[in-house]
Amino acid sequence: GDNNDMLDANNNPLRCRLLFLLACFHAVMQERRTYIPQGWTKFYEFSYGDLKAGTYVMEAVSELQYQNRPIDWETVYGLMEDAIYGGRIDNIYDRRVLRTYLSVFFSSRLASDDGIGTEVLAGTPLRMPNVPDLDSFKKIISQLMDVDAPFVFSLPDNIERSLQRTTSTAVINQLRALSTLTSEANKFDREKWRTQLNPLLELWKTLYSSAPAARRDPSSKKENAAALLAAASGKGGSIPSPIDEFVKMEFDFAG
C-alpha cells in the first residue's frame, strides 16, 4: 500500500529514516502533554495536520540526495519551529524545548547511513535499524512499553507526584464549581428573576394595553360562557353559529 511505498528502503533510504524520526518526534510532542505544566506549560493541539505538514518537509529534504547537496538542518528547524509545530507555541520555555527536540531527532547523526544502530531516544528501544523499511520500524516500535516513563521525556522520576497533585487540584476545583452551582440553583434570587422576566412583563403590558378586547368586563365573559354551557346542555336555546361568534369577536376587538 501507500505506507510500503513511502517506507521502501530501496526507493529512498533517507526518506524512510526521516519519516521514522518525524513519527517519533510527533509522538513525543503529544505525550509530553501528559505532564503539564512540566512537559509543556499548557495543552497544545499538536495534530495529524502538523504530522502531515512535517512529511512534506521531510520529503523535500530527502530529494536533496539526488542533487548531491548537503542537508540544511537549520532550514528544517526553522520550518518545523516557526511554520508547523512552533506555530502553536506561545511560551519561550516551550519553544526552547521544541528546539532541543528538533536538534535531537533531526541530524546527520541519525539520518545518514552512519546512523545505523544509533539510539534515537535515550533509554528506549528506539534505534535506527540496519534496513530502514516498514517491517523493521514496526518491530522496533513493538518493543516500546505500554506506559512511557518520565525519563523518556527527559523529566525527573518524581514528576508523577506533581502530575497527581495537579490532577487532584483540578478535580477538587471541579467539585467546588459543581457545589457552587448546586447551591445557587437551590436559592431563589428575586433580583435575578426580575432582571430576566422584566422584558417579558413589559411586552405583556404593551400587548394588554393595545388590545381593548382583553380589558372587557370579566362578568360579561362569564355570562357568555354560561350561555354557551346552557345551550350545550339543552337548557337554553341553541349554540351560537361560529360565524356569528367570529363577527362578534371582530367587533369587540375593533373597540
User: What average pLDDT score do residues 58-86 get?
Assistant: 88
Q: Indicate the DSSP class of residue 79.
A: I
For residue 124, what is its C-alpha cell? 528506549
User: What average pLDDT score do residues 141-161 get?
Assistant: 82
Is the pLDDT assigned to residue 10 strictly greater than 70? no
Amino acid, single-letter form, for residue 149: A
CA neighbor of 110 nearest in space, from 25, 36, 192: 25
- The pLDDT value given to residue 1: 47
**9 contacts 16 by C-beta, under 8 angstroms:** yes
Is the pLDDT assigned to residue 249 strictly greater than 80? no
Q: Greater confidence, 218 or 82? A: 82
- The span from the CA of 133 to the CA of 35, in Å, is 32
Q: Greater confidence, 56 or 69? A: 56
Give residue 38's pLDDT band: very low, low, confident or very high (50, 70, 90). confident
Is the pLDDT assigned to residue 83 strictly greater than 60? yes
CA neighbor of 15 nearest in space, from 47, 59, 46: 59
Using one digit for the tens of pLDDT, what is the confidence trace for 170-203?
788 888 777 766 666 666 667 777 787 788 777 7
% of the chain with per-residue pLDDT over 70 = 74
- The pLDDT value given to residue 5: 54
Using one digit for the tens of pLDDT, what is the confidence trace for 209-228?
765 555 555 555 556 656 65
Using one digit for the tens of pLDDT, what is the confidence trace for 18-35?
999 999 999 999 999 988
Task: Provide the mean pLDDT of the chain.
Answer: 79
Number of H helices, E strands in the chain: 11, 0
Rg (CA), the chain: 37
User: What average pLDDT score do residues 234-248 get?
Assistant: 62
- The CA–CA distances, whole Å, from 202 to 197, 206, 207 equal 9, 6, 9
**67 contacts 76 by C-beta, under 8 angstroms:** no
Report the range of poorest mean pLDDT among 62-76, 111-125, 210-224: 210-224
Residue 50: what are its φ and ψ, rounded to 5°? -65, -40
